Amino acid sequence: MFDRLLDLASHGLLHAGLGVMLVYLLVMTQLTILTVTLYLHRSQTHRSVDFHPALAHAFRFWSWLTTAMVTRDWVAVHRKHHAYADTGQDPHSPYIVGIHSLLWRGTELYTAARQDRQLLATYGRGTPDDWIERHLYTPHCNWGPTLLAVISLALFGVGGMAIWAVQMMWIPFWGAGVVNGIGHWWGYRNFETPDKSANMMPLAIWVGGEELHNNHHAFPSSAKFSVRRFEFDAGWLVIQTLSLLGLARVRRIAVAEQAHMAAGTARAVALSPRVKVMTEFFRKVTLPVVRDEARRQGSRHPKLAIRLRRALADGGRWLSADERERLNAWIETQPCLRTICQLRGQLAALMEMRNAERAAEALSQWVRAAQASGIGALQRFALSLSESRAVPRAPLRRLGE
C-alpha cells in the first residue's frame, strides 16, 4: 500500500514521460492564452465577437481554473488601459512604471489596479453577473488554481507541480509582461496611434494574436488583429473556425478586411480620424521629405539613429531629454524638415479639438500655411485633407478666400 502511494506521488495516475508532460503543458497554456485573447479581450472587453453561451461559459470556467482572474476585473483594467494608454493613468504602461518592472511585476500592477472599486464600477460594466459569478467565480477565484494543482498532482505526481507552477506564471509573464510591456516598447507600427503600441512580430501565434498590438490599438473593436497581407493572427483563425461551427458570431472587423466577410455579417470598423490623418502625414509627407533631403544633401546629410528618425512620427514625444535634444538639433539643420515638424505638431493639436467649428477654422488656417510652405509633398497632403471628411468641421472656405 505504501509503495503504491509512493508511486502515485512520484508518477501520478498517468505515469507520463517528459514528452507527454511537455505536450500537456503546451496545450494547457495555449488554451489559457486563447481564453484570454478570445473571451476576456475580444469578446468581453471590446464586444467584437459573440460566442455560443455554452462556449462562453467554458471560457469563463477555464479562466477561473487556470488564472484566478475575474472577468469584470480583467475587463475593467484593460478598458482603462485603452482610455489612458501610456499616460499617468494607464494601469500598466512601460513608460510610467518602467519596462523591467512591467515585464517581471505585471501581475502586481494588475492586482493593484483591480483594488480600485471606482475603476471596476466605471469600466467593468456589461460583464457576467449571474449566480455562479457572484457565488463562485468572483468571491472564490483562488479556488480554481487550487483545484488545478490537485489535478496536476494527481495526473503527474510531483512533476505535475512543476507544470502547475509554469501555468501560473504563463499569463502573468506573456500577457501582463510581454504584451503590455514589449507591446508598448519595441516593434513596428502600421498606424500612428496616440500611444506607443507596436506590433512585436507579423506572425502572431505564440500569444494568440496579441503580438499585433499596434493594429489592435488602431482598431480596438475589431475581432481581427492582422491588417496587412504578411500578418497572421492565430486568434482570428480560431474565431473563423468557431464561426463555421456556429459557435461564434463576428460583430465588428477592421474596414480594411471587410471584403473578406460575407455581406451583413459584421460591422466595419474604420480608423479614428486622428490616427488616419497622422498615419498618412508620416507616410506621405515626413518620410518623402526626409528621403528627398538625404538625396539632395548626399554625404553632407547628417546621420541619425533609426530610433530618432522614427520619432519624427510623434514629434519625439517618447524620447528621453537627451535624445529629443539630438533630434531637434538634427531637425534644425534642415529648413524643410523643420517646417514639416512644426506643421505636424499643429495638425496633431487640431485633431484633438472637440468643437467642430473651431476645428474647421484651425484646419483652414493649417491648410493655408501648408500651401504657402512650397513643399510639394506637404501641399499635396493639405489639398487632399481639405477635400476629405477626416476632421469634423463646418464647411471650409476655399483657399485664397
pLDDT digits (tens, 9 = 90+) for 120-152: 999 999 999 999 999 999 999 999 999 999 999
pLDDT at 391 > cutoff 60? no
CA distance 188 to 202: 9
Judge if 263 and 280 occupy the same domain: no
Q: What pLDDT score was predicted for residue 11?
A: 67
pLDDT at 293 > cutoff 90? no
Instruction: Dump pLDDT digits (tens) for 264-280.
Output: 457 778 788 889 999 99
Q: What pLDDT score was predicted for residue 19?
A: 93
Percent of the chain with pLDDT over 90: 61
Judge if 68 and 205 occupy the same domain: yes
Mean pLDDT, residues 366-391: 85
Amino acid at 133: E
Q: Which of 236, 269, 302 is the last residue of a domain?
A: 269
Judge if 75 and 196 occupy the same domain: yes
| Span of 111-115, 128-132, 314-318 with lowest mean pLDDT | 314-318
Q: Which grid cell is 146?
A: 487550487
Mean pLDDT, residues 282-295: 87
State whether the Cα torsion 147-152-154-160 is positive or negative: negative
Q: Which of 222, 251, 269 is the last residue of a domain?
A: 269
| Span of 5-19, 228-242, 301-315, 328-342 with lowest mean pLDDT | 5-19
Q: How confident is the model at residue 370 (pLDDT cuts 50, 70, 90)?
A: very high
Judge if 264 and 277 occupy the same domain: no
| Span of 4-13, 91-100, 218-227 with lowest mean pLDDT | 4-13
> What are the Cα distances from residue 381, in Å, to 131, 191, 309, 371?
56, 17, 21, 9
Q: What pLDDT score was predicted for residue 334?
A: 84
State whether the Cα torsion 340-343-349-355 is positive or negative: negative
Q: Residue 252, SS3?
A: strand
- Whether 376 maps to a domain, the answer reads yes
- Whether 41 maps to a domain, the answer reads yes
Judge if 199 and 62 occupy the same domain: yes
CA distance 345 to 312: 10
Q: How confident is the model at residue 395 (pLDDT cuts 50, 70, 90)?
A: very low
Length of the chain in residues, anyone? 401
> What are the Cα distances from residue 98, in Å, to 82, 276, 310, 336, 352?
18, 29, 21, 35, 27
**Domain encompassing residue 378:** 273-387
- Whether 395 maps to a domain, the answer reads no
Between these two residues, 327 and 54, which has the higher pLDDT value? 54
Q: Residue 49, SS3?
A: strand
Q: What pLDDT score was predicted for residue 8?
A: 59
Residue where the block lists cell 505504501:
2
Q: What pLDDT score was predicted for residue 401?
A: 31
> What are the Cα distances from residue 148, in Å, to 5, 156, 384?
20, 12, 58
- Whether 399 maps to a domain, the answer reads no
Judge if 313 and 300 occupy the same domain: yes
- Whether 396 maps to a domain, the answer reads no
Judge if 30 and 165 occupy the same domain: yes
Judge if 348 and 324 occupy the same domain: yes
Instruction: Dump pLDDT digits (tens) for 320-347.
Output: 888 888 888 888 888 888 999 999 999 9
State whether the Cα torsion 225-227-232-237 is positive or negative: positive
Q: What pLDDT score was predicted for residue 3?
A: 59
CA distance 255 to 248: 20
CA distance 83 to 196: 13
Q: Where are the beta strands (DSSP E) in 258-304?
A: 267-269
pLDDT at 258 > cutoff 60? no
Q: How confident is the model at residue 35 (pLDDT cuts 50, 70, 90)?
A: very high
- Whether 139 maps to a domain, the answer reads yes
Percent of the chain with pLDDT over 70: 89
Q: How confident is the model at residue 301 (pLDDT cuts 50, 70, 90)?
A: low
Judge if 303 and 255 occupy the same domain: no
CA distance 318 to 196: 8
Mean pLDDT, residues 221-236: 95
Which residue from 11, 51, 19 is spatially nearest to 35, judged by alpha carbons?
Answer: 51
Q: Which of 253, 269, 285 is the last residue of a domain?
A: 269
Judge if 258 and 371 occupy the same domain: no
Judge if 237 and 163 occupy the same domain: yes
CB atoms within 10 A of CB 22: 12
User: 247 near 256, Cβ under 8 Å?
Assistant: no
- Whether 393 maps to a domain, the answer reads no
pTM for the full predicted model = 0.88
Mean pLDDT, residues 82-102: 91
Judge if 363 and 345 occupy the same domain: yes
Q: How confident is the model at residue 262 (pLDDT cuts 50, 70, 90)?
A: very low
Number of domains forming the structure of the chain? 2
